[in-house]
């Protein structure tokens, strides 16, 4: 698995387009929010800015890169060749996705640390870590499922749009409007409960036990995504 991960990391670092679109752009967007954090905090909250960071990196960095990577490796038959080795399916997928996952986690950690330094840290760091990790797992699961519907890296530009735009829209809706109205709907939509968890972790004022219950909808999406991936994911190009 580690050898596959190292090889994939080298490929990512050599691909300037992936570096710019999947990593530089999300960082730039987050930096703009942090630079204007006082204005955004006055209109919403610092927790909303933290949620923007988590989902911008999660959607446009982790999720989109996951789909593009798997589609590319399938198209050039790299996945097929890996399956002929002693590595199991889980090891292959883990190795391919480990670099982008680590990079995304480093990005989120670094950006949130900067946000904490300029505006004051989160009310509950442990709860924030739980929110970030659960969101990362959800985006990975959705990435695996979407990769099964994606024929090529070019096709990924289309197939990733619904989840990218959808999760960002839900995050914005919950972050700005809150969950006082249409609570159940907002929490059941992908990214809704995770956004609320980030808000609670950063802003405080909510019991930890109540916040932890918000992990259930996010993890449920993980189960749904993995179930879809197991049925849709293909190791060879469609003939």
Asked, for residue 33, whether it belongs to a domain, the answer is yes
Mean pLDDT of the chain: 84
Residue 38 pLDDT? 57
List Cβ<8 Å contacts ≥24 apart for 83-91. Answer: 83/235, 87/1, 87/4, 91/1, 91/4
Residue 139 pLDDT? 93
Residue 78 pLDDT? 82
Asked, for residue 199, whether it belongs to a domain, the answer is yes
pLDDT digits (tens, 9 = 90+) for 149-185: 888 888 888 999 999 999 999 999 998 888 888 889 9
Residue 129 pLDDT? 93
Residue 239 pLDDT? 60
Asked, for residue 13, whether it belongs to a domain, the answer is yes
- Whether the CB-CB separation of 164 and 63 falls below 8 Å is answered with yes
Number of domains in the chain: 1
Asked, for residue 238, whether it belongs to a domain, the answer is no
Instruction: For residues 156 and 152, give the distance between their C-alpha atoms in angstroms, rounded to a whole number.
Output: 6
Instruction: For residues 187 and 218, give the distance between their C-alpha atoms in angstroms, rounded to a whole number.
Output: 9
Residue 63 pLDDT? 94
Q: Which domain holds residue 11?
A: 2-232
Residue 36 pLDDT? 61
Residue 174 pLDDT? 92
- Whether the CB-CB separation of 12 and 100 falls below 8 Å is answered with yes
Asked, for residue 109, whether it belongs to a domain, the answer is yes
Question: Residue ranges of the chain with pLDDT lower than 70?
Answer: 15-25, 27, 29-30, 32-44, 238-239
Residue 90 pLDDT? 86
pLDDT digits (tens, 9 = 90+) for 215-233: 999 899 989 988 988 888 8
Residue 10 pLDDT? 75
Asked, for residue 124, whether it belongs to a domain, the answer is yes
Instruction: For residues 131 and 13, give the distance between their C-alpha atoms in angstroms, rounded to a whole number.
Output: 28
- Would you give the DSSP letter of residue 190? T
Residue 212 pLDDT? 83
Asked, for residue 186, whether it belongs to a domain, the answer is yes
Asked, for residue 110, whether it belongs to a domain, the answer is yes
């Amino acid at each position: 698995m580690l050898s596959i991960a190292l090889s994939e990391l080298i490929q990512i670092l050599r691909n300037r387009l992936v570096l710019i679109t999947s990593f530089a752009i999300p960082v730039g967007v987050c930096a703009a929010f942090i630079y204007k954090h006082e204005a955004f905090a006055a209109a919403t909250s610092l927790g909303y800015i933290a949620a923007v960071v988590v989902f911008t990196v999660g959607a446009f960095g982790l999720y989109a890169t996951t789909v593009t990577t798997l589609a590319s490796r399938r198209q050039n038959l790299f996945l097929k060749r890996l399956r002929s080795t002693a590595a199991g399916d889980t090891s292959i997928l883990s190795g391919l996705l480990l670099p982008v996952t680590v990079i995304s986690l480093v990005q989120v950690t670094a950006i949130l640390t900067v946000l904490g330094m300029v505006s004051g840290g989160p009310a509950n760091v442990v709860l924030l870590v739980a929110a970030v990790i659960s969101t990362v797992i959800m985006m990975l699961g959705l990435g695996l499922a979407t990769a099964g519907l994606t024929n090529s890296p070019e096709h990924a530009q289309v197939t990733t749009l619904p989840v990218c735009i959808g999760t960002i829209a839900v995050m914005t809706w919950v972050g700005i409007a809150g969950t006082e109205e249409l609570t159940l709907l907002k929490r059941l939509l992908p990214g809704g409960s995770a956004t609320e968890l980030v808000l609670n972790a950063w802003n405080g004022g909510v019991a930890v036990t109540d916040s932890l219950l918000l992990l259930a909808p996010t993890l449920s999406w993980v189960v749904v995504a993995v179930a879809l991936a197991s049925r849709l994911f293909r190791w060879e190009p469609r003939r």
